[in-house]
Amino acid sequence: MKYLRYALTGLAVIALVAAGVAGYIAATFDPNAYKPQIIRLVQEKKQRTLRLDGDIKLAFWPSLGADLGRLSLSEFKSDKEFAAVESARVSLALMPLLSKQLVVNEVTIKGVRANLVRFKDGSMNIDDLLAKDDQKQEQFKFDIDHVAIENAALNFRDETKGAEYALSGFNLKTGRIANGVPTKVSLSLAIKGNQPKLNLDADLKTQLTFDLDKQQYALEGLVLEAKGQVADINNLAAKVAGNATARLKTGEFSAGKLSVALTGASGKDKFDVKLDAPQLDFTADKASGDKVTVVAKITHPQGTTGVNLTLPGIEGTAQAFKSGAMTLDLDMKQGDLTVKSKLTSPVSGNLKTQQVSLPKLVASISASGPNLPGKSLSGELAGSASIDAVKQNVQANLAGKIADSNIKARVGVAGFTPPGINFDIDIDQLDIDRYMPPTAGGKSAGGQKPPEQPFDLSGLKNLRANGTLRIGSLRASGVKASNVRLDIKSNGGRVDVSPLAANLYQGTLNGALAINAAPATPTFAVRQNLNGVSIGPLLKDLADKDILEGRGNVALDVTTQGNTVAALKKALNGRTAVKLADGALKGIDIAGSIRNAKARLGTLKGEQTQQADAKQKTDFSELTATFNIRNGVASNNDLSMKSPLLRVGGEGDINIGEDSLNYLIKASIVGTIKGQGGQDLGDLRGVTVPVRVSGPLTAPSYKLDFSAMATEVVKQKAEEALRGQFEKRLGGGAAKEGAKEAPKSGSDALKEGLKGLFGR
């Protein structure tokens, strides 16, 4: 890890400063008297402030050394503390110095603390300490008997990324450190960070051999163990063991008896991963290796997933290696569903450029379960894939058939932490409903429906995706559509689908969908326009409701939030508009009900309630309405429904959250057409009949207000009688010559009209 390298570099700088100070002091007889000169020298050379708070004790034989008290070093051109050491002891072998060989018998440093910073311009606060002097210096050969660093602490802040890391409890012990000499190394530390989130305790034991001139490093008997948290992985326990050799000048690498074991948990998922690589060798002119295996098991509340990867022997060179057919087996069990998939392909690649190619990739899948069509399905995709680790890029092209769906897909991954997925997928037909479990309609033991389980959108929070999905023929939630297109963008928990377009039910759909899964309570926004759609079949397939017929347009612009469907319905807000033609309102025949009521006006009083009857309907030539939706309640006051016989207006509420409605329809007779098997309604022309619609959406009831209807009829007859009298008076008021009887008074005419109405 590069941050660990920075930490070690910082500690090395502190050690060198301490060694330099000790060496200078060792050359004087009264080192404490020379503190001001030492401090001034550091200020002049490095423009940093050195503090020496303790007494300096020198040793001259058999080694030249110094015990230093507490010392500290400031930041460059600042009095702010950069690093401090509680105590340090450094001793040098005296005789090798005469032959320009630096043989350090002992380096012991206790209580180191330092602060490393990478500034926004990319520079670091130790650049001046690492800079070389312009004067050419003769090189010393060094040989250190042992090094001990106790309880060191290091803070690193990267302002370019907003990352912070803290290293604590750093303890290092080594044997002799010299070119070509194997030395035992023991290291322990704790590290915390925020990008990614880290909280780890680590322990390393190995035997190190190095050659700085050849840039060659070897680790024998390596055992690295770490426990803690990395990103969203908790209870992590990792162990790496084996041998490794790296020759940086020639780019050669080898590993033997390498094993990796990882266990941990991510959310409710637990994992166990093991890797074994007996021998891998990549030299300048040859690449070889034994079989590599990876076995993983993931356990989650719904079931288990098993992964088994096998890579046969590798041959070639580091620039062009290849292997036989790699095999990846995946077994997943979730409830009653069992899925088995297998991926195979030869592997070729270039270790130097870190590129891998899978030229003949074949992926097969089979699934079985009681809810699958025919209780099983299978399919196969074939194509190729490539991986570029330097650019962090993956590309795959696949085509084939799964169940009844022919699929063509181009999928890419840009970046690995987190991955950014881009895709372009074509599917000729897809019936999602075939693969969905049946809807549970039962009740719990107490007679109540079981509580609705919240849906889990946590997978969207870290999803970065951008692409297009096209489906020739789609069935989902009962709805049938064709020429479906979805352009999807997802980042930071927000998913935008725009456009979301399709042909459906003799019309078209075009709009957008937005989901924000980042908050604890996810939010949704839907904007859709349905044009020329046959609304009856759509409602029947979507909601299994046969209440409306007609063809036309529906505009929808709504938002909501919640973790369950019930919560989404109750939090619905927005607006919708409907404009339909040549349709029918099902459940009631308003004209027929008025006709029947008219024949019995003399005997019926008050209100009459009737349940919806699927066999009845009220035809219309045009229907328009707009709804304002607030907290799950859709309010309307401008319903307009027209037919040759009726004019219908209305207002009221539809409670979407409670699946109920309370609506007042006002129907007026405008035509003289006789109903089927009924009387002419011409004598009720202009009469408005109130119809109250209420109850559950699945089975509403209709109440016809006969009292209001009778009042309307009486009012109409009175107006007609009075109008007739006025017309006669305005026409001369006298009976025509030859009339058999004089005209009746206005009151007599009204009485006659009422008698005709009530049949009396």
Kind of pairing between the strands at 216-230 and 646-655 = unpaired
Could you read off the pLDDT of 209-261 as tens digits, one per residue?
998 888 899 999 999 999 999 988 899 999 999 999 998 888 788 999 999 99
Q: What pLDDT does residue 179 have?
A: 86
The mean pLDDT value of the chain amounts to 81
Q: Is the pTM of this model over 0.75?
A: no
Give CA–CA dist 408/430, Å, rounded.
13
Question: Which residue's entry shows tokens 């018998």?
Answer: 105
Q: What pLDDT does residue 599 have?
A: 57
Q: How far is CA 675 from the centre of its chain?
A: 59
Neighbours of 160 (CB within 10 A): 10
Kind of pairing between the strands at 63-68 and 87-93 = antiparallel
Give CA–CA dist 718/733, Å, rounded.
19
Q: H-type helices in 560-695, by residue range?
A: 565-570, 590-599
Compute the chain's Rg from CA coordinates.
43
Percent of residues, the chain, with pLDDT higher than 90: 38
Q: What pLDDT does residue 534 have?
A: 92
Binned at pLDDT 50, 70 and 90, residue 342 comes out as very high
From 376-390, 540-554, 634-648, the region with the lowest mean pLDDT? 540-554
pLDDT higher than 90, residue 755:
no
Q: What pLDDT does residue 245 have?
A: 93
Measured at the CA of 419, the angle between CA 418 and CA 420, to 5 degrees, comes to 120
Average pLDDT of the residues in 663-692: 65
Q: How far is CA 634 from the centre of its chain?
A: 31
Could you read off the pLDDT of 539-551 as tens digits, one per residue?
888 877 777 889 9
Measured at the CA of 645, the angle between CA 639 and CA 648, to 5 degrees, comes to 15
From 34-38, 50-54, 543-547, 684-688, the region with the lowest mean pLDDT? 684-688
> Among residues 454, 663, 720, which one has the least CA distance to residue 567?
454
Give CA–CA dist 309/329, Å, rounded.
6
pLDDT higher than 70, residue 686:
no
pLDDT higher than 50, residue 336:
yes
Kind of pairing between the strands at 355-368 and 523-534 = unpaired
Give CA–CA dist 472/408, Å, rounded.
12
Q: How far is CA 695 from the centre of its chain?
A: 39
Q: Would you state the structure tokens that stand for residue 158, as one six-digit string?
A: 């990267």
Q: Would you state the structure tokens that stand for residue 329, as one six-digit string?
A: 């087996």
Percent of residues, the chain, with pLDDT higher than 70: 78
Average pLDDT of the residues in 186-203: 92
Query: How many Cα atoms within 13 Å fall on the side-chain side of residue 734?
Result: 3
Query: How many Cα atoms within 13 Å fall on the side-chain side of residue 480?
Result: 7
Q: Would you state the structure tokens that stand for residue 6, as one six-digit string?
A: 């920075």
Give CA–CA dist 277/294, Å, rounded.
9
User: What kind and span of H or E run contains 20?
Assistant: helix 2-26
Q: Would you state the structure tokens that stand for residue 727, as one six-digit string?
A: 């017309």
Query: Is residue 318 helix, strand or coil?
Result: coil
Neighbours of 341 (CB within 10 A): 17
> Among residues 396, 342, 337, 332, which one has the least CA distance to residue 364?
342
Q: Which residues pair with 510 in a beta bridge?
A: 501, 529
Phi, psi torsion values for 145, nearest 5 degrees: -70, -45
Contacts of residue 711, Cβ cutoff 8 Å, sequence gap at least 6: none
By residue count, the chain amounts to 760
Q: What pLDDT does residue 207 have?
A: 95
If you write DSSP's letter for every residue of 415-463 in order, what string do you get?
Answer: EETTEEEEEEEEEEEEEGGGGSPPPP----TTSSPPPPPPP--GGGTT-
pLDDT higher than 80, residue 684:
no
Give CA–CA dist 191/166, Å, rounded.
6
Give CA–CA dist 160/316, Å, rounded.
41
Contact 672, 682 (CB under 8 A): yes
Q: Which residues pair with 671 in a beta bridge?
A: none
Q: What pLDDT does residue 6 have?
A: 58
